[in-house]
Every structure is written in C-alpha cells, then in structure tokens.
C-alpha cells in the first residue's frame, strides 16, 4: 500500500490554505452601574482591546443589572473583566 505525502502530493495546489480551527468562547457577566448608551460604549471600548476579544454585547438595564457578553478566543477571568470595567468607569461585576 502506498501512502501519499501531503506535502509532496501534487493534488494539493500551492494556493490551498490549511488553517487551524479557531475555538471561540462566549461568556456572560452581570454588570451594575450602567445608565445609558455612553456606558455601553465605554465598556465595549475597554473590553474590545483585550487580547483575543472579537465581540462585546451588552443588554442595558438602566440602574439595574445589565448583561455583558464577551466572545474571545480564550476565556477571560473575572479579574480581567473587572479591571476593564473599572477603566471604563464606575461599573462593577454583580455578585451572583
């Protein structure tokens, strides 16, 4: 039985691309202190610059507990999120 070497296999063209599958994770965090769209923008800006973060979504609940969803290529720690919230303003992770 003959095995083809994929590197030398002529059926694979030089412009074919082989990519490692990216595994993404979406985490949800309860956040307090948001009152308006400016708050949403400030938090989104701070979290978006963290390494691996590809999406930030916030369901705003004025003067209540808002829901923050972060999609990244690795899980973020509560501390990483808490620091970003503090950088953005007077926002805190809610106790669960």
Helices (H), 1-96: 37-48, 78-88
Delineate the domains of the chain, giving CATH numbers in brackets. Answer: 25-93 (3.30.70.100)
The count of C-alpha atoms lying within 13 angstroms of the C-alpha of 67, restricted to the half-sphere facing its C-beta, is 5
3-class DSSP assignment, residue 24: coil
Give residue-wise pLDDT tens across range 20-43: 556 889 999 999 999 999 999 999
Q: What is the spatial distance between Cα 21 and Cα 18, in angstroms, rounded to a whole number?
A: 9
Helix (H), strand (E) at residue 72:
strand 65-72
Highest mean pLDDT among 7-16, 19-28, 72-81: 72-81
Tell me the pLDDT tens digit for each residue of 38-56: 999 999 999 999 999 999 9
Only one residue has tokens 């701070």, namely 46
């Amino acid at each position: 039985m003959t095995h083809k070497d994929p590197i030398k296999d002529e059926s694979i063209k030089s412009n074919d691309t082989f990519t490692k599958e990216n595994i993404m994770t979406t985490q949800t965090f309860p956040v307090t202190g948001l009152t308006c769209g400016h708050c949403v923008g400030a938090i989104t800006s701070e979290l978006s610059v963290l390494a691996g973060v590809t999406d930030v979504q916030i369901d705003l609940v004025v003067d209540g507990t808002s829901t923050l969803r972060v999609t990244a290529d690795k899980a973020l720690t509560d501390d990483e999120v808490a620091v970003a919230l503090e950088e953005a303003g007077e926002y805190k992770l809610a106790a669960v």
